[in-house]
Amino acid sequence: MTDKKNSDNPLPMEILKVSSLSKMFGGVKAQDNISFSIEKGIVCGLIGPNGAGKTTLFNMITGIYPPDGGEIHFLGKPIKNMPVHKLVKAGIARTFQHVELFASMTLLENVLVGMHVRTKSGFWGAITRMPWVQREEKMAKESAENILEFTGLTEYARRPAGELPVGRQKMAEIARALASQPELLLLDEPAAGLNAVETEALGYLIQKVKQKGVTMMLVEHDMSLAMGISDKIIVLDRGMKLAEGTPREVQNNEAVMEAYLGQG
Ligand SMILES: Nc1ncnc2c1ncn2[C@@H]1O[C@H](COP(=O)(O)OP(=O)(O)OP(=O)(O)O)[C@@H](O)[C@H]1O
Ligand SMILES: [Mg+2]
């Protein structure tokens, strides 16, 4: 992975801008006029009760669902309705709320799949086995091994992903997402299913990824993780943006407290 911090540009730069986004599912407003922007290099926590619209927001940013209205800009360019593979190539990666690894493939192979948008050799390259293809494959394998080391998963590299404990699978999803060398990484409940020790390791990993200059959005129900690691927090409730601010500001926000107490 390359260090993407740009020391020549000290000004905070907007990496993601979401403007008046809306999405209906039947009669449910899953996104109701959502607007915010994210500065490059930060960790932005995205919190809110179940059904608030957090995953739907990720699904629209990553091209899985088309928004009904509004705009999304990534590094100043409109990306609404861009196909998923183009978004990945542009620098957006994500993990899923429910682990979506290729269970029968090894962890190393899963990471190599995540990397393929950054390699030139496709299907024909794999068949013809030209020397440059073999060189590229060797480099890709080395990068994948580096990513597994970076995420603390080296010992599992040659095990089928489906055999790993849930905690490791969640980390493996992050490894696979990092393989596409994202500028923006969206993490949907990475700590779900993790024990306290694994959650702490995850927090440490997110800090390391941040130090590489990757901007992150983090959906998280574990409040101490979300509050401890985020530079700013956006709170959604029933498809609406309830609050936005520093972790301290959000914690003291009355509407936020009510939404969480009202959860029952
Ligand atoms: N594909 C879909 N079809 C129909 N309704 C959907 C779909 N996806 C989401 N919804 C609805 O949209 C609303 C927001 O759902 P979403 O999954 O975005 O919430 P969330 O904040 O991620 O919740 P959770 O914390 O439980 O993961 C919910 O009412 C949900 O039932
Ligand atoms: Mg969700």
pLDDT band at 122 (very low <50, low <70, confident <90, very high): low
pLDDT band at 117 (very low <50, low <70, confident <90, very high): confident
Q: Which of 54, 64, 234 most suits a substitution to test ligand 1, by most atoms within 8 Å of the C-beta?
A: 54
170 and 138 fall within a common domain: yes
- Considering the entire predicted model, what is its pTM? 0.91
87 and 191 fall within a common domain: yes
In a domain, 37, yes or no: yes
**97 touches ligand 1 (CB under 6 Å):** yes
**53 touches ligand 1 (CB under 6 Å):** yes
84 and 204 fall within a common domain: yes
In a domain, 100, yes or no: no
**203 touches ligand 1 (CB under 6 Å):** no
In a domain, 5, yes or no: no
25 and 156 fall within a common domain: no
Closest Cα to residue 155, out of 105, 189, 108, 112?
108
CA 239 to centroid of ligand 2, rounded, Å: 12
In a domain, 152, yes or no: yes
Of 135-139, 163-167, 204-208, which has the strongest mean pLDDT? 204-208
Which atom of ligand 1 lies nearest, measured to the CA of 56?
18
**24 touches ligand 1 (CB under 6 Å):** no
188 and 86 fall within a common domain: yes
155 and 29 fall within a common domain: no
Which of 129, 156, 180 delimits the end of a domain?
180
In a domain, 101, yes or no: no
In a domain, 255, yes or no: yes
| pLDDT tens column, 31-73 | 999 999 999 999 999 999 999 999 999 999 999 999 999 999 9
pLDDT at 2: 47
For residue 8, pLDDT over 60 is answered with: no
CB 3 within 8 A of CB 212: yes
Closest Cα to residue 58, out of 97, 86, 29, 90?
97
In a domain, 112, yes or no: yes
70 and 130 fall within a common domain: no
**What does residue 225 show for φ and ψ, rounded to 5 degrees?**
-70, -50
186 and 258 fall within a common domain: yes
65 and 130 fall within a common domain: no
Which of 157, 180, 203 delimits the end of a domain?
180
Which atom of ligand 1 lies nearest, measured to the CA of 54?
21
**Span 163-179, mean pLDDT?**
94
Share above pLDDT 70 across residues of the chain, in percent, rounded to a whole number: 90
Number of domains in the chain: 2
**What does residue 11 show for φ and ψ, rounded to 5 degrees?**
-75, 140
Which of 162, 180, 198 delimits the end of a domain?
180
78 and 186 fall within a common domain: yes
188 and 254 fall within a common domain: yes
- Domain boundaries, position 172: 107-180
pLDDT at 125: 61
pLDDT band at 128 (very low <50, low <70, confident <90, very high): low
54 and 123 fall within a common domain: no
